[in-house]
Structure 1
Amino acid sequence: MMDCETEISQGRRFAFGRNWLRFGTLIDEERIAAATRSLEVALGASDLTGRSFLDVGCGSGLFSLAALRMGARVRSFDYDPDSVRAAGKLRLEYAPDSDWSIQHASILDAEFVQRLDQADIVYSWGVLHHTGDLWTAMQAACGLVAPGGTLYVSIYNDQGPESRMWTVVKRRYNASGVLGRQLLLTGSLLYLGRHAPLRAAQRLTKRVQGTPQGTVPRPRGMSRKHDLVDWVGGYPFQVAMPEEVFSFCHERGFELSRLKTCKGGLGCNEFVFTRG
Structure 2
Amino acid sequence: MMEIEGQVRVAIRDALNRKSRKPFYWGGLKGYEQLEAIAKALGEVACDEPETDYLQQLRRRVDRVVERYRVNVEDLREAHTWLRRIADCLRYPPSDSAPDLDLSSEQVKREMEELLQSFQPDLKRRPAQAALYGAWHRTWRNYGPDLLHCYDIPGLPPDNLMLESLFGRLRRHQRRVSGRKSTRELRDFGQYQVLFLAESEEELLEQIRQVPLEEYRENRQRLEEAEAPRRLLHRLHRDPLGTMRGLVKQHAARRAALSSTAAQSSLTGDT
Q: The TM-score by the shorter chain falls in which range?
A: under 0.3
Of the two structures, which has the highest relative contact order with CA contacts closer than 8 Å and spacing of 6 or more?
2
Structure with larger Rg: 2
Higher helix proportion = 2
Q: Which has the higher strand share?
A: 1
